[in-house]
Amino acid sequence: MDNVTEQKKIMLSGIKPTGDLTLGSYLGAIKNWAERAEQFDCYYFMADLHALTTRNKPADLRRRTLEQLAQYIACGLDPQKNTLFLQSDVHEHAELGWILNCYTMFGELSRMTQFKDKSSKNADNINGGLFTYPALMAADILLYQPDYVPVGEDQKQHVELTRDIAQRFNNLYGETFKVPEPWIPKVGARVMDLLDPLSKMSKSDEVGNGRICLMDDPADILRKFKRAVTDSDNGDGCVRYDPENKPGVANLMQIYSACTGRTYSEIEAEFVHSGYGVFKPAVGEAVVETLRPIREEANRIISDKAYIQGIYADGAKKASYIAGKTLRKVYKKIGLVEKPF
């Protein structure tokens, strides 16, 4: 009888440390990530090299990188079950990124919609990295020979390009890279902006009055919910799930449901004799209690520098071992002299 345990398939995801993680990020995606480790061998890295395509204050970039890593751990990404590391700690990313630049066509890069979008928003800083970073993203992925890459609608084009690059390289030099499949993640609550319930809650919102961040103070959370938009047309004041006519109320109900586990009909019954003046603070309190353990654990991790440094050092060690094997294979295939160390 064969006692060999079937090897888990590999999943990889990069997270750019810009903006602040929001309630929308948590309820819509991150909350579900912890269970992936039971099914996949998961690699998560903070994509700090990608963050360099826009100008950052160095201290802010360092702080955000470590704070967001701590927040992901606090949200349930167990370092014992997932490989967590910083992109810049694994030099193979930059090395393979340059090589894949040479196997990525100018026309392919010029068609990337994110380049067009970011160029229009950063007209004074349209740099080479902004144009070629899809090749670095391909390197990020292909180094670890993953089976799946979790991807949202805005990143599907990059995974498609990665597949094209991998197939082009394999056709030239023989099987080198596993061609990854896009993975459409399980979507949780779709949380909208509290002041504009027709727009998604965004971590890049400069003002932040319509979004809830994971590290927000409880008093700030309650204040934002008290100011949340409900009916835009002086409606009937009822707590009723009607996304088309009452998008603000529907958004608050979805948040309350995600935090408490109550169904929409149960929420309607709970607040049938109450107005928005009671409902909105109740949603705020539910969010405060949902985020409290995350915020407290993230603060504990951030304050323990030796602990968090140990996590990303161990993660980089494992990642470097896997990435190094792939890079050595690539060097040999394209004719570079084997490293003497």
Contact by Cβ (8 Å): 323, 83: no
Q: Name the more confident of 170 and 209.
A: 170
* Token pair recorded at residue 319: 């990642």
Selected catalytic residue, list 118, 226, 318, 325: 118
CA 10 – CA 41 distance, rounded (Å): 5
In this prediction, residue 4 has a pLDDT band, given cuts at 50, 70 and 90, of very low
3-state secondary structure of 12: strand
DSSP state, residue 149: E
> How many Å from the N-terminal Cα to the C-terminal Cα in the chain?
42
The full set of domains in the chain, from first to last, is: 9-188+304-334 (3.40.50.620), 218-299 (1.10.240.10)
Contact by Cβ (8 Å): 246, 230: yes
In this prediction, residue 235 has a pLDDT band, given cuts at 50, 70 and 90, of low
Selected catalytic residue, list 203, 325, 329, 333: 203
> Residue type for 239, please?
V
Contact by Cβ (8 Å): 76, 33: yes
Predicted confidence (pLDDT) per residue in 258-271, tens digit: 999 999 999 999 99
Q: Average pLDDT for residues 75-96, to the nearest whole number?
A: 97
Check whether 333 has a pLDDT greater than 80. yes
What lies within 8 Å, CB to CB, of 225 at 6+ separation is 194, 252, 280, 281, 283, 284, 287
Q: Average pLDDT for residues 4-10, to the nearest whole number?
A: 78
Contact by Cβ (8 Å): 45, 86: yes
CA 147 – CA 169 distance, rounded (Å): 17
- To the query of whether residue 116 is one of the catalytic residues in this protein, the response is no
- To the query of whether residue 332 is one of the catalytic residues in this protein, the response is no
Q: Average pLDDT for residues 89-98, to the nearest whole number?
A: 98
Q: What is the largest CA-CA distance in the chain?
A: 77
Q: Average pLDDT for residues 217-229, to the nearest whole number?
A: 96
Q: Average pLDDT for residues 18-40, to the nearest whole number?
A: 90
> Residue type for 131, please?
F
> Residue type for 117, please?
D
> DSSP assignment of 65-102, as one string?
HHHHHHHHHHTT--TTTEEEEEGGG-THHHHHHHHHHT
Residue with tokens 């004719």: 335
Check whether 76 has a pLDDT greater than 50. yes
CA 262 – CA 271 distance, rounded (Å): 12
Residue with tokens 């060097």: 331
Burial class (CB in 10 A: 0-12, 13-18, 19+), 305: exposed
| Range in 53-62, 75-84, 100-109, 186-195 the model is least confident about | 186-195
Q: Average pLDDT for residues 148-166, to the nearest whole number?
A: 89
Q: Residue 59 is inside which H or E element, if any? A: helix 58-74
In this prediction, residue 232 has a pLDDT band, given cuts at 50, 70 and 90, of low
Predicted confidence (pLDDT) per residue in 237-256, tens digit: 789 999 988 999 999 999 99
CA 273 – CA 278 distance, rounded (Å): 10
* Token pair recorded at residue 217: 């103070």
3-state secondary structure of 213: strand
Number of other residues whose CB lies within 10 A of the CB of residue 243: 14
Q: Average pLDDT for residues 54-81, to the nearest whole number?
A: 94
Contact by Cβ (8 Å): 161, 112: yes
Number of other residues whose CB lies within 10 A of the CB of residue 303: 10
3-state secondary structure of 257: helix
Model pLDDT, residue 3: 47
Selected catalytic residue, list 81, 178, 200, 329: 200
Residues making up the chain, counted from first to last? 341
Give the CA dihedral 15, 16, 19, 24, nearest 10 degrees: -20
